[in-house]
Amino acid sequence: MAREATKGRKAVLTVVAWGIGLLIFFPILWTVITSFKTEAEAIASPPAFVDFHWTLENYTTVNQRSDYLLHFWNSVVISIGSTLAGLVIAVPAAWSMAFVPGRRTKDLLMWMLSTKMLPAVGVLVPIYLLARDTGLLDSRIGLVIVLTMVNLPIIVWMLYTYFKEIPGEILEAARMDGATLSSEILYVLTPMAVPGIASTLLLNVILAWNESFWTLNLTAANAAPLTAFIASYSSPEGLFYAKLSAASTMAIAPIMILGWFSQKQLVRGLTFGAVK
């Protein structure tokens, strides 16, 4: 009897949760479905859900008519470039704060975090003018530099919380056995730090891929990543839904797959370790 009741309860909860889940997911699903329609079907009323002529036409047109691949490549270069640059700067910093903490380590960490609290619009004008005067406006290098700095505090913090969990005794033991500093880092620390670094890399690529303030304000035709390219579809005409959907699907698919693997790291990285 009691078992029946729990099973019934579980069934109800399952239906409710799936219903809400699908409702929240629906705009994405709708975008993917629309991307396989013709433009006429995309604005047909009443709209069709599965009962239409499925076509890949939009994906080929989007690739042919616009420089879609260029913008996709810009997104790849900018997100991965800024993440790698950030890691190169942040790994030594996080390493020394985690293993050789000084009296001011905590203040330093808090200060780094505080730079992240600075609203972007507060420094929009100077960054824009600096980029313009150094020729970095609408260039991939310029955006890599800006996004590296924007996300550096998060990278340092995430790495710090991961490195903190590596027991210091292991390093001491290695030192006792005569390991030099370089071999200590190479053979003892690195293998233990790799999962943390990988998680940081993953989250940061996602953040950089979707960054939409600097990418929209600092780029034009050449260096525009997908965020800016898609925003240029913002015309009021109704005859491009299917192509917009195809471009959107291609823009969000890679990062969504990465994102599903990074749920835990997301919590840790975005709350600066305050919720684990």
Partner 1 sequence: MLSPAVVLLFLWMIVPLGMTVYFSFLRFNLLMPGTNDFTGFENYYYFFTDPSFWPALVNTLILVFGVLAITVIGGVGLAVLLDQPMWGQGIVRILVIAPFFVMPSVSALVWKNMLMNPVNGLFAAIARGLGLRPFDFFADAPLASIIAIVAWQWLPFATLILFTAMQSLDREQMEAAEMDGAGPVWRFVHLTIPHLMRAITVVVLIQTIFLLSVFAEILVTTNGGPGTASTTLTFLVYVQSMLQFDVGLGSAGGIVAVILANIVAIFLMRMIGKNLEA
Q: Would you say 166 and 193 are in contact if contact means Cβ atoms under 8 Å apart?
A: yes
46 binds partner 1 (CB under 8 A): yes
Phi-psi region of 178 (alpha: psi -120 to 50; beta: other; left: phi over 0): left
Nearer to partner 1, 122 or 177 (CB): 122
Q: Nearest approach, Cβ of 177 to partner 1 (angstroms)?
A: 23
Write down the least CB distance from residue 217 to partner 1, Å.
7
Site for partner 1 in 85-124 (CB under 8 A): 89-90, 92-93, 95-97, 106, 108-110, 112-124
Q: Which is nearer to partner 1, 84 or 113 (CB)?
A: 113
Q: Which stretch binds partner 1 (CB under 8 A): 5-13, 133-141, 176-184, 187-195?
A: 5-13
C-beta of 177 vs 193, nearer to partner 1 = 193
The answer to the question of residue 193 lying near partner 1 (CB under 8 A) is no
**Under the criterion CB under 8 A, does residue 81 sit at the interface with partner 1?**
no
Tokens 């219903």 correspond to what residue? Answer: 19
| Residue 62 CA to its chain's centroid (Å) | 24
The answer to the question of residue 188 lying near partner 1 (CB under 8 A) is no
Say if CB 91 and CB 197 are below 8 A apart: yes
Interface of this chain with partner 1, residues 7 to 36, rule: CB under 8 A = 9-10, 13-14, 16-18, 20-22, 24-25, 27-28, 30-31, 34
What ranges make up the beta strands (E) of 188-266? none
Question: What is the C-alpha to C-alpha distance for residues 177 and 47, in angstroms, rounded to an integer?
Answer: 71
Residue 140 or 228: the one with the smaller Cβ distance to partner 1 is 228
How many angstroms separate the CA atoms of 113 and 97, rounded?
A: 14
Angle at 171 between CA 110 and CA 86, to 5 degrees: 40
Q: Least CB distance from residue 189 to partner 1, whole Å?
A: 13
State yes or no: residue 209 binds partner 1 (CB under 8 A). yes
Distance CA 94, CA 108 (A): 11
* Amino acid identity at 156: V
| Residue 217 interacts with partner 1 (CB under 8 A): yes or no | yes
